[in-house]
Structure 1
Amino acid sequence: MNIEQFKQEVIEYSKEIGIDKIGFTSAGLFEELKQRLITQQELGYQSGFEEPDIEKRVTPVKLLPKASSIISIALAYPSKLKDAPKSTKEDRRGIFCRASWGQDYHTVLRDRLKKLEEFLKKRIPDIQLKSMVDTGELSDRAVAERAGIGWSGKNCSIITPEFGSYVYLGEMITNFPFPPDQPMEDQCGSCRKCIDVCPTGALVQPGQLDSSKCIAFLTQTKGFLADEYRTKIGNRIYGCDTCQTVCPINKGKDFHFHEEMEPDPEIAKPKLKPLLTISNREFKEKYGHISGSWRGKKPLQRNAILALAHFKDKTATQDLIMLVHQDPRPVIRGTAAWALGKIGDASAEVELLKAFEKEKDEQVKEEIQKGLALLHETS
């Protein structure tokens, strides 16, 4: 078999099944990544969602013993919402990040990788393959960078010349020795817009992210959000796109190649108040197919409360009072109490005092006191 010719066949087939970019690299150790990951761990910059075993993240042969090469794939996703609904004073809206528009990207990429696997198995029946998307051990970005998909931007995203950083990544380890592609030169130059505008200063320096400060990570946490970040969330329900939207290379990049990725505007920019009382069943029916639903409804409801506080939405006062009195979850009760103080509707004071009297949870009591203090500041 002519290996180079077979590689071309794989590239052609990848286009047929809706893979927008494909690259190949060796299955050797990711040495530079290993050092970066050790540093991240030492500095406490990890999110906790990663594979904890660094050796598995940087050593492909630990995942497929006879690994010889890795195929990296990229699919471009939309960056602009067509017919975006307007947020009004009576009906404020939140926003899901672009990576959570349309069908869960894990499902979409796994579909493409499965088709690619089937193609390879037909041609080489005894080929060994291991595919992964995002939640696998390998770093999608490190693989994509080495496979020439794009370069690693200062915002820690892979940036492609064609699609900017609006791409989903996945990879497949194989024992077949595909010739590797050349990595791409960094094209960020002296630009540091992403670092300068990061709302929480999570981009510590070019290519280094303190995940614990990153809004994309914070919106996925389940507990109380630290006070210092509550006013930074804005109206984000899930994720953050700031470091992508300011990137000059992303300017004008908007691709609608894949039907599954097309966003429903009412889901991408949902009304905030209905989110507060949505049932588990309604949540699953409406949001279950998007990647932003993976942590369940509680973090998104907490973020919706913070968004209402951001808007100082007095039309939400009664909804929030109801949560303070009736919601069984301390995080929701406490965040609602804080939000009432931030909104500054004087009518909430009596209700917060009532709630304080009957509240058993110490953290919630603390949040009620914060809410009352904020109310007094604004009165």
Structure 2
Amino acid sequence: MNVTLFKKELINYSKEIKINKIGFASANTFETLKQRLIDQKELGYQSGFEESDIKKRTTPQLLLPKARSIISIALAYPSKMKKPPRSTKDDRRGIFCRASWGKDYHLLLREKMNLIEAFIKDKYPEAKILSMVDTGELSDRAVAERAGIGWSGKNCAIITPEFGSYVYLGELITNIPFEPDQPIEEGCGTCNKCVDACPTSALVQGGQLDSSKCIAFLTQTKGFLPDQYRKKIGNRLYGCDTCQTVCPENRGKDFHFHVEMEPDPKIAKPSLKPLLTMSNREFKEKFGHVSGSWRGKKPIQRNAIIALAHFKDEASLPILEKLLNDDPRPVIRGTAAWAIGKIGQKDYLAVLEKRLELEEDQEVRNEIQKGIQLLEACKGE
């Protein structure tokens, strides 16, 4: 087996199937990452969505015995939407982050990696391959950094010279000993714009993220959103792009290589009020194909309620009142109560007081009391 020649063939094939960048790395243990993950765990900076076993996250051989190398791939996604709908007083809209525009990137990357796997197996049937993306044990970014796809930016994203940080990442572990590529030299320099701009100060310092404060994480949680983050979330329904949009390396970067990634503007920036009364079936039919739907409709609906409060959308008050009184989910009832108070229509004070008499869930009662306090403050103005 001529591994050097086969690597060139694989690179050429990757271009044929519209992979925007491919790199090769050794399957050695990620020692530096291991210590960083231990530190993150001790500091309480993990989100809880990660693989809990740090050894699995940093030791490719535990995932694929006799692993020799890792193939890293990147697909560039759009940063600008064509003809985005405007959010108006009569039609307030939320926003999904760019990584949730178009078809779910997990599926797109999986399709590409399946093609690569088939290409390798056709040439070398005895090859062993394990592919993963995002939800796998390995850190996509650590692999991509080692494979020369890009450098690890201060915003904790991989930044490529060609496409900025607007790339989806996936990797394939294999027992084929490909010659590793050289990592790219770190390019952030003294720039600290992403750290300074982070809405919740989740970027503790360049390259260190407290995931529990990150809006991208917070929008995916299913419980009550902590008070201190409700104003920060704005009209975000899923994810956050601030640390990417302020990055100088992303200036002018907008690529439309893959038609599947093109967003439907009315889904990427949906009307908020219809979201509140959407059934599970309607939600799946409309949003089921985007990555931002993976946690179901409740977090999206909770975030939509917070967004309407952010806009002080008085037209949404009848819907919020109905949610407060009829929705079986405490998080939705409670968030609706708080939003009613935040919108500030004094006539709704009686609505909250009446509901307080009937509500049995203590967390919801706490939210109703917050709403009452907000409206009483308005009453005194």
Shift of 1:378: 2.1
TM-score by length of 1: 0.99
Partner residue in 2 for 1:255? 255
Partner of 2:229: 229
Distance of 1:3 and 1:61 partners within structure 2: 20
**How does 1:125-164 map onto structure 2 within 5 Å?**
125-164=125-164
Letter in 2 for 1:357: E
Which residue is 1:198 aligned to?
198
What per-residue deviation string (whole Å, max 9, x for no partner) do you get for residues 247-305 of structure 1? 00101101110111110001000000000010000001000011000000000000000
Q: What's 1:245 paired with?
A: 245
In structure 2, distance between residues paired with 1:173 and 1:269: 37
* In structure 2, distance between residues paired with 1:128 and 1:192: 42
Tell me the equivalent position of 1:124: 124
Residue equivalent to 1:76: 76
Match of 2:363 in 1: 363
Q: Residue 181 of structure 2 aligns with which residue? A: 181
Q: 1:24 aligns to what SS in structure 2?
A: strand
Q: Which residue of 1 is the match for residue 30 of structure 2? A: 30
Using the alignment, how far apart are the partners of 1:63 and 1:356 within structure 2? 53
SS at match of 2:70: strand
Gap regions ≥5 residues in structure 1 = none
CA distance in 2, matches of 1:24, 1:376: 62
Unaligned runs of 5+ in 2: none
Once residues 103 and 209 of structure 1 are traced to their aligned partners in structure 2, the CA distance between those partners, rounded to angstroms, is 27
Q: Deviations over 1:168-203 (max 9, x none)?
A: 000000000000000000000100000001000000
- Partner SS, residue 168 of structure 1: strand
User: How far does residue 314 in structure 1 lie from its aligned partner after superposition?
Assistant: 0.8
Determine the C-alpha separation between the residues in 1 that align with 2:100 and 2:162: 21
Amino acid at match of 1:22: I
Secondary structure, aligned partner of 1:25: strand
Alpha-carbon separation, structure 2, partners of 1:18 and 1:136: 23
Q: Deviations over 1:21-56 (max 9, x none)?
A: 000000000000001000000000000000000000
Deviation at 1:6, TM superposition (A): 1.0
Identity of aligned residues (%): 72
- Matched letter for residue 3 of structure 1: V
Q: CA deviation at 1:82?
A: 0.4
Q: Which residue of 1 aligns with 2:16?
A: 16
Aligned to 1:317: 317
Q: What are the Cα deviations for residues 41-72 of structure 1, in whole angstroms up to 9, with x where unaligned?
A: 00000000000000000000000001000000
- The one-letter code of the counterpart of 2:256 is H
Instruction: Tell me, yes or no, if structure 1 residue 54 matches structure 2 residue 59.
Output: no
Q: Which amino acid aligns with 1:89?
A: K
CA distance in 2, matches of 1:90, 1:359: 31
Q: Which residue of 1 aligns with 2:280?
A: 280
The answer for the alignment partner of 1:105 in structure 2 is 105
d(CA) in 1 for partners of 2:25, 2:322: 56
Question: Which residue identity does 1:108 align to in structure 2?
Answer: L
Counterparts of 1:329 and 1:347 in 2: how far apart (Å)? 25
2:92 aligned residue: 92
- Which string of whole-angstrom CA distances, capped at 9 and with x for unpartnered residues, describes residues 149-174 of structure 1? 00000000000000000000000000
SS at match of 1:231: helix
AA in 2 matched with 1:373 = Q
Question: Residue 62 of structure 1: SS of its match in structure 2?
Answer: helix
- Aligned amino acid, residue 374 of structure 2: L
Tell me which amino acid in the other structure corresponds to 1:239.
G
Q: Do structure 1's residue 373 and structure 2's residue 381 form an aligned pair?
A: no
1:168 aligns with 2:168: yes
Residues in 2 aligned to 1:164 and 1:20: alpha-carbon distance in whole angstroms: 12
Aligned-partner Cα distance in 2 for 1:148–1:132:
18
Cα distance in 2 for residues equivalent to 1:373 and 1:82: 42
- Could you say which residue in structure 1 is the equivalent of 2:327? 327
In 1: Cα distance, 2:224 partner to 2:71 partner:
40
- C-alpha displacement at 1:346, in angstroms? 1.1
Q: Please, what is the CA RMSD of the aligned residues?
A: 0.6
- Aligned pairs, number: 379
The Cα shift of 1:90 comes to 1.0
1:2 CA drift (Å) = 2.5
